Amino acid sequence: MMKRILALALAALMVLGLGACAITDENTGSTVFEAENIARVTVFSYYGQGTGCDVPDENMEEVTAWLATFKIGSRMYTDTIPSDANTIFVEIEYTDGTVIKEGIEVRVIDGYGYYLEYDTPPDCIYELIYQTSPIE
């Protein structure tokens, strides 16, 4: 009888453990940037400081398409999110005048850090990063 109880308890613990592993975070897969109605995009390196570089009109379509691929990825397995977690930032101005400036590597949601997932950047992004300056 005792073996049966222990076997049932062990089975219950295994089921609970497997169920806990299957729980997904509701933030994972969420879109990061609204890619409609963008008027201007500025790329910043140096942790978002210094002088950024505006995306030229001829590259705006491919950069906007790239920004649309950004999704919330896996949650970071640390309680402390490093202050230098984002080295590259984008500042987006929308046609309604709203301006946001966000890093492209990590996003903090409800106190938890999440890695960002996105498609390979267009070549022009690298060219723009090289044109930024650490000093305003």
pLDDT of residue 21 exceeding 70, the answer is no
- Is residue 7 in some structural domain? no
- Is residue 19 in some structural domain? no
Give the strand order in the sheet containing 106-109: 71-75, 112-117, 106-109
Which range marks the domain in which residue 53 is found? 25-130
What CATH number is given to the structural domain containing 79? 2.60.40
d(CA 134, CA 47): 9
Across the range 10-15, mean pLDDT stands at: 50
d(CA 62, CA 43): 14
pLDDT at residue 14 in the model? 55
pLDDT at residue 3 in the model? 53
pLDDT at residue 99 in the model? 97
**Torsion region of 49: left, alpha or beta (phi above 0 gives left; psi -120 to 50 gives alpha):** beta
pLDDT at residue 23 in the model? 40
Q: What is the pTM of this model?
A: 0.77
- Is residue 14 in some structural domain? no
Domain count, the chain: 1
